[in-house]
């Protein structure tokens, strides 16, 4: 009796495995001869940087979600001098792909490799860009002028 039960169990398992291995495309209808097959391609969306305006600071650059971007006066072209506790308060802007606002030149944006963690950070005219942790919503510019070394980025930004 146990031999028959074992054989029946094996048979049921084989049926289940065969059913699981069946592809959904096996029953799909072929496209009509006069129809072109639909080809789906993955489109990688790129975010767009924005220009926002604030009465106190004028126009300034923000990411696609409206979060203000800043530069650090103590940075050098191609090098961030903000690390450790500084980076905790001023996280690097690290977007991979983005469009720039009208009137801005995409070639002015590049990336550097941070010395502290090897991550790529976006730069504008060679200077690294950052967020400020106290900016909580679109349009916040709480980092403007902090310790007279943190400033918003706009088309008139002059790096020293």
Per-domain residue ranges for the chain?
47-152
Task: Report pTM.
Answer: 0.71
- The total number of residues shown for the chain amounts to 160
What does the pLDDT read at residue 159? 78
Which of 108, 143, 145 has its CA nearest to residue 127? 108
Which of 81, 67, 82 has its CA nearest to residue 152? 67
Q: Is the pLDDT of residue 106 over 60?
A: yes
Residue 33 tokens read as 């001869």
Pair 49, 98: CB distance under 8 Å: yes
Q: Is the pLDDT of residue 56 over 90?
A: no
Cα distances from 60 to residues 12, 27, 54, 64, 108, in angstroms, run 68, 56, 8, 13, 16
Pair 46, 97: CB distance under 8 Å: yes
**Mean pLDDT (whole number) for 109-126:** 96
Q: How many CB atoms lie within 10 A of CB 80?
A: 24
Task: Please report which confidence band the pLDDT of residue 39 belongs to, taking 50, 70 and 90 as the band edges.
Answer: very low
Which of 46, 125, 116, 143 has its CA nearest to residue 78? 125
Name the helix (H) or strand (E) containing 97: none
Which residue reads 């944006």 in tokens?
Answer: 109
| Eight-class DSSP state of 86 | H
Q: Is the pLDDT of residue 38 over 80?
A: no
Residue 104 tokens read as 């801005």
């Amino acid at each position: 009796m146990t031999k028959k039960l074992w054989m029946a169990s094996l048979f049921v398992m084989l049926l289940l495995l065969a059913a699981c291995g069946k592809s959904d495309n096996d029953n799909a209808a072929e496209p009509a001869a006069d129809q072109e097959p639909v080809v789906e391609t993955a489109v990688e969306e790129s975010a767009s940087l924005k220009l926002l305006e604030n009465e106190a600071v004028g126009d300034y650059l923000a990411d696609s979600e409206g979060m203000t971007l800043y530069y650090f006066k103590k940075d050098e072209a191609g090098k961030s001098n903000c690390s450790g506790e500084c980076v905790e308060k001023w996280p690097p802007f690290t977007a991979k792909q983005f469009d720039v606002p009208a009137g801005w030149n995409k070639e002015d944006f590049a990336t550097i490799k941070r010395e502290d963690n090897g991550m790529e950070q976006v730069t504008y005219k060679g200077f690294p860009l950052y967020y400020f942790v106290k900016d909580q919503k679109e349009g916040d510019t709480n980092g403007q002028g902090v310790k007279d070394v943190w400033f918003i980025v706009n088309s008139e930004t002059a790096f020293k």
